[in-house]
Amino acid sequence: MLVVVNPHRADAAHAGDLVTRELEDEGIEVCKTFDPGSDTPVEAAVVLGGDGTILYAAALTRGTDIPLLGVNLGHVGFLAEAEREDVRHAVQRLVAGDYTVEERNTLEVVVKQPDGSTESGWALNEATVERSNLLRTVELAVEVDGKPVSTFGCDGVVISTATGSTAHAFSAGGPILWPDVDALLFVPLAAHALFARPLVVGPRSWFALEVLERSESEALVVLDGSRSIDVERGGRIEVRRGGHQVKLARMSDAPFTERLVRKFSLPTNGWRGPAQDG
């Protein structure tokens, strides 16, 4: 099994040592580096940190069928399945194969520069189109399925999966999508326009953004907050549902509603539930 640790957290290093001992005591070989081209079979990955560490592990294992078991050592930790106090129990269940696998959709992003060159990338949470010059706005033309919708100046836009709806898109005022909603979410950031509201489209639809020649700033595409692509004026960004999914190991069948209430500490006092017959 692969153990992925946030290198910037001392508690993650300690938890990584604990997980390694637990796995080795069970006769499981542990690796802490991963080569996607290697023929060494990896059954699962234990990821210790916050959602950022899970996003890193998703990029590290991209294109494989390795399920990721996230142990939250950060703040909210929407992608994590276990908390720090549950590490031993979670590892024991992982070793026993007592878990299910949940598949999460991704985004595929293609950037076409004015000179005809292209760059591509992907994201599990979101692709954020931002202004390169923080003192100026970026002027964008927005398309859905190849048809123009609007143009406006803004700080940027967020295009996310349902998974990413509780991340950057949520902080920008977008709606929360349940993980099983097969859709793409579009959220403008401080747009200077009347019609600049969040949009939700189906899995076969796609978004395109053009950085207008008159834009005061060039653009930057940021993928999951960790990888970026520069976009010149006249450049075009196309975002579609990805062909690969990320697999998460799950040990609870509790609905997403419970996770939402717990992670955001939402008040539910006074709830009585459905009326009982009789």
pLDDT grade for 195, boundaries at 50, 70 and 90: confident
pLDDT in tens, 63-79: 888 999 999 887 777 89
Token pair of 113 as six digits? 């520069």
Asked if 79 and 182 sit in the same domain, the reply is no
Per the CB < 8 A criterion, the answer to whether 55 and 225 are in contact is yes
Asked if 148 and 159 sit in the same domain, the reply is yes
Asked if 149 and 167 sit in the same domain, the reply is yes
Residue 51: active-site member: yes
Hey, what's the torsion of the CAs at 252, 255, 258, 263, to 10 degrees? 70
Asked if 168 and 95 sit in the same domain, the reply is no
- In this structure, what CATH number is given to the domain that contains residue 230? 2.60.200.30
User: What gap in Å lies between CA 128 and CA 243, rounded to an integer?
Assistant: 19
Asked if 123 and 214 sit in the same domain, the reply is yes
Please indicate, yes or no, if residue 274 is contained in any of the structural domains: no
**Considering its fold, how many domains does the chain have in total?**
2
Owning domain of residue 186: 107-241
Inform me whether the pLDDT recorded for 276 exceeds 80: no
Distance of CA 111 to the CA centre of its chain: 19
Per the CB < 8 A criterion, the answer to whether 105 and 201 are in contact is no
Please indicate, yes or no, if residue 193 is contained in any of the structural domains: yes
Could you tell me the pTM of the whole model? 0.92
Asked if 180 and 203 sit in the same domain, the reply is yes
Residue in 17, 35, 51, 98 annotated catalytic = 51
